[in-house]
Amino acid sequence: MRAFRKLIAAWSVAEEAALAVLVVGMVGLSGAQIVLRNVFKTGIPWIEPALGNSLLWITMLGALAATGARKHISIDLATHFVPARPKAALRAVTDGFAAAVCGFLARASWRYVTFMKEAGDAAFPGVPAWAAYAVMPAVFALIAARLLARAALALAEAARGAGAPPAPAPDSLSPANGAKPDGRADA
């Protein structure tokens, strides 16, 4: 279990590093384009499409990171009013449903990527559109897998009668973000 937690922590660091590299790259490209246009009256034509595709990648990787840290959007009104054992079962159902939706989105986005590959369009010079959009099915599949794993853990909790939520992401209990021992953050 310790090795698994280390793997999850390393994966979280990799997600955050990828996001940081993309953001720094976007800021750098945007700044370069501004300088080129305003000072030298020229520009690099592929920067705008590259920035648009980078935004897609940041959005998808950000969703993956948010899901990993349990900071994604969720509607959990009922979990505040039910006892611990049913709460775990309810978490299993909601995580399972969300995994199914993400699986559907992974399949749909894979079909879109396949269509873009057949169309032969380019996202920007030297990069086919399908390669730029391939992040969508990959991330939706990863989110679905993550949610399925959480659903299985919550189902196991419900079966054994434990009511404690699964262990939070490694960073969510750090005092720097105001987390309490029970995993709730100060509002």
Give CA–CA dist 77/60, Å, rounded. Answer: 26
Please indicate, yes or no, if residue 181 is contained in any of the structural domains: no
Half-sphere exposure of 143 (CA within 13 A, CB side): 29
Give CA–CA dist 94/82, Å, rounded. Answer: 14
Please indicate, yes or no, if residue 187 is contained in any of the structural domains: no
Please indicate, yes or no, if residue 157 is contained in any of the structural domains: yes
pLDDT of residue 23: 95
pLDDT of residue 76: 67
Please indicate, yes or no, if residue 16 is contained in any of the structural domains: yes
Name which of 138, 129, 6 is nearest 64 in CA terms: 138
- Neighbouring residues of 50: CB distance < 8 A, sequence distance ≥ 6: 29, 123, 124
In degrees and rounded to multiples of 5, residue 44 shows phi and psi of: -110, 115
pLDDT of residue 176: 46
pLDDT of residue 177: 47
Per-residue pLDDT tens, the chain, 187 aa: give them: 688 778 878 888 998 999 999 999 999 999 999 999 999 999 999 999 999 999 999 999 999 999 987 877 766 666 677 776 788 888 888 899 999 999 999 999 999 999 999 999 998 888 999 999 999 999 999 999 999 988 998 888 888 875 455 555 444 434 444 444 444 454 4
Distances (CA, A) of 164 to 65, 72, 95, 100, 160: 23, 20, 16, 24, 11
Please indicate, yes or no, if residue 116 is contained in any of the structural domains: yes
Give CA–CA dist 68/170, Å, rounded. Answer: 10
Please indicate, yes or no, if residue 185 is contained in any of the structural domains: no
Helix (H) or strand (E) holding 123, with range, is strand 122-124
Please indicate, yes or no, if residue 131 is contained in any of the structural domains: yes
How many domains does the chain fold into?
A: 1
Domain that residue 103 falls in: 2-165
**Residue 41 burial (C-beta neighbours within 10 Å; 0-12, 13-18, 19+):** exposed
